[in-house]
Amino acid sequence: LLALELLTVCVFAYSIRNISIFNGIDNLLSISSDAGAIWWIGAVLIGLIIPLLLNVTSIIGKTAASHSKEYLLAVLILIGAFCLRYSVLLSGQYY
């Protein structure tokens, strides 16, 4: 599910980039803006990529995830969801 969500986020970021170029405005999701930094670092890196890598290492190692690892995954995904919503809120205020 995380891999599918990551694919969806990439398609979304690509479409936002193309729409921004077509309309001649700054890219909302560029890393130089506050909303873009929160989006890429918080929502994508902390909320999607790190939990995906932790899950993949558990699957490849064929080991059961400990309770602390499961709690860490849940906290990372919640932080990523908060960053996603906050970056959308900031983007709406800028434009």
Find the angle CA(12)-CA(74)-CA(80) to the nearest 5 degrees: 30
Q: What is the pLDDT of residues 6-65, one digit of tens each?
A: 899 889 888 888 887 887 777 767 777 888 899 899 999 999 999 999 988 888 988 777
Rounded to an integer, what distance in angstroms lies between the CA atom of residue 54 and that of residue 30?
A: 27
| Most distant CA pair in the chain, distance | 50
The model's pTM: 0.81
Structure tokens at 55: 């899950």
Q: How far apart are the first and last CA of the chain?
A: 31
Split at pLDDT 50, 70, 90, the class of 95 is low
For the chain, how many structural domains are there in total? 1
Distance of CA 77 to the CA centre of its chain: 9
Domain around 37? 2-94
